[in-house]
Chain A
Amino acid sequence: QQQVKQSPQSLIVQKGGISIINCAYENTAFDYFPWYQQFPGKGPALLIAIRPDVSEKKEGRFTISFNKSAKQFSLHIMDSQPGDSATYFCAASRPGSARQLTFGSGTQLTVLP
């Protein structure tokens, strides 16, 4: 029940296109869903996050869509750029003082120029 499943494993998009990465979770106790971006040789960087009380959150070209009933959430990258080429991880955490993150398996995004 702790698992977060992420797809696709890899994604190739043309410059200017829309990149969509999906995640599904099982544990309904999760109440915080962040997305992280990781470049080779770097640590994961917090990109955008959402809570279950909203269905969508947008920050610049990045949007999270959240479907509580389906227990799914997705990251949309609009107008994808070569500089967006990185590995993206979804994650989830439960209420409480611990707040450790359970991560998806990652999606390697390549944006072609």
Chain B
Amino acid sequence: DSGVTQTPKHLITATGQRVTLRCSPRSGDLSVYWYQQSLDQGLQFLIQYYNGEERAKGNILERFSAQQFPDLHSELNLSSLELGDSALYFCASSVVVVGDEQFFGPGTRLTVL
């Protein structure tokens, strides 16, 4: 158990809908990363937040957005969902200043029908 929690574990929804994925980092970790894992694209970095502020963006679609709250939990919002958005979404956390290690949560499996 990495100490990173993600909810829900599974999410099934329809095209055009909007969903919110939640992540709670390890105690003491200030940085949260979101990654998408799909069969054709592999593991890809989406976005990073550090202590409430957006720090870096990767291959994140404009339909996707994220935020990190004062208690350091983070939410990834996916809107206008398409079939191709079906994937595993992982969040990872790290203590940026102290080390580089990123610890991954168990993921949310999103299925868009």
Residues of A within 8 A of B (CB): 32, 34, 36, 42-46, 49, 89, 93, 97-106
Contacts and interface: CB of A to CB of B under 8 A. Distances in A.
Interface size class, chain B: 20 to 34
Interface of B: 2, 4, 31, 33, 35, 42-45, 48, 50, 55-56, 58, 90, 92, 94, 96, 100-107
A97 B45 CA distance: 15
Contacts, number: 58
A43 B105 contact: yes
What's the dominant secondary structure at chain B's contact region? strand
B106 A101 contact: no
B100 A97 contact: no
A100 B103 contact: no
Nearest to B103: A46
Nearest to B97: A97
